[in-house]
Amino acid sequence: MHFAYPETDDTTIYVPPIIFDRNAHLVPRLVRVADLLWAGAGLSGHYQTSSICPPTSVYSLPLSLVDRAGGWDAGEDAIGEDLHMYIKCFFALNGRLTTRSIYSPASHSNVHSNGRGIRGYFNDIMARYKQALRHMWGALDSGFVLRSTIEMGGTRPSIQIGSSTNSFSRP
């Protein structure tokens, strides 16, 4: 797939959908539903005309793009590493990031406590809650996006949509 599009091979991130299929029989229904909704949210960008398709844990990109984006961040600036790297690449390329869907789902396990009985049931729900909190921390990237948009300033060209012109540049 990478070599099929030589014009965008250095500006492409590859994103598969995710599926929770390894241990669904071991976790409470509430955990399964939460993970199915998470997988569904990830699927929302995997259609032909979608202009964005952020990764939901699994992605691949060329090292030249990693270098252009300044590498992977560590620490409190990169809590949601997959989304954060997607955003970094987007702004490193002034919005010209190409996303290609990989139509083979990445297999995942539901969070699971290995507990038994009622205690295990509640421990599994608590483990999923903690996972949801980690996902929520990805909202910190909103500030990163705002700062990057301001820094990008007038460097992004106008985009023609129908008869109107939209621009992300300052007046």
Type of residue found at 119: R
10-residue mean pLDDT profile of the chain (171 residues): values are 88 95 93 94 89 89 94 71 90 92 94 92 95 84 89 60 35 35
Q: Model-level pTM? A: 0.80
Here the tokens at position 94 are 């002034």
Say if CB 34 and CB 126 are below 8 A apart: no
**pLDDT tens readout for residues 81-123:** 888 899 999 999 999 999 999 999 999 999 999 889 999 999 9
pLDDT at 63: 95
| Alpha-carbon radius of gyration of the chain | 19
pLDDT score, position 74: 74
Classify residue 16 by its DSSP letter. Answer: -
User: For residue 58, what pLDDT is reported?
Assistant: 92
pLDDT at position 77 = 56
For residue 2, what pLDDT is reported? 80
Cα dihedral sign for 157, 155, 85, 32?
Answer: negative
